[in-house]
Amino acid sequence: MNNKILYGLLVFLVLGYLMQFFLPWYSLAFAGIAAGYMSKGKPAQSLALFFLAGVIFWGLAAYLKDSASSSILSARIGILFGDQPPGALLGLTALIGGITGGLGGWCGALFGKYIRQ
């Protein structure tokens, strides 16, 4: 893998972690934009990479928060969505994080491609 792509992935994870304390949930897209721009990869490659990174990042964060509270909140929210198990809600959370990060990375890569032309 290219070093610029690994650098972009590191930027994504660090920015995503730091921004979650001060900004709303969609700040992961801003981290993806910055990382996609810095990685200088192809747009499709950035979409896939930051989608996967977003899934792992938000999935792990949701799992850690959920396990710290003994899955009380996710069990109650699951009842509201038709008796869904807590794992389904964690998977949905990870999917939303992946879509947000992937689209952010894609936009950042397209912006970088446009600027460099």
Please provide the DSSP assignment of 10-26 as one string. HHHHHHHHHHTTTS-TT
Q: How far from chain centre, in Å, is Cα 15?
A: 11
Count of domains observed in the chain: 1
pLDDT tens digits, residue range 24-80?
989 999 999 999 998 888 899 999 999 999 999 999 998 998 888 888 888 888 888
Q: What is the pTM of this model?
A: 0.89
Question: In the prediction, which pLDDT does 2 show?
Answer: 72
Question: In the prediction, which pLDDT does 39 show?
Answer: 86
Report CA torsion sign: 70, 72, 77, 80.
positive
If you average pLDDT over every residue of the chain, what do you get?
89
How far lies 54's CA from each of 6, 18, 24, 58, 84, in Å? 15, 14, 15, 6, 23
Domain of residue 56 covers: 3-116
7, two tokens? 């650098």
Question: In the prediction, which pLDDT does 101 show?
Answer: 94
Structural contact between residues 105 and 33, judged by C-beta atoms closer than 8 angstroms: yes
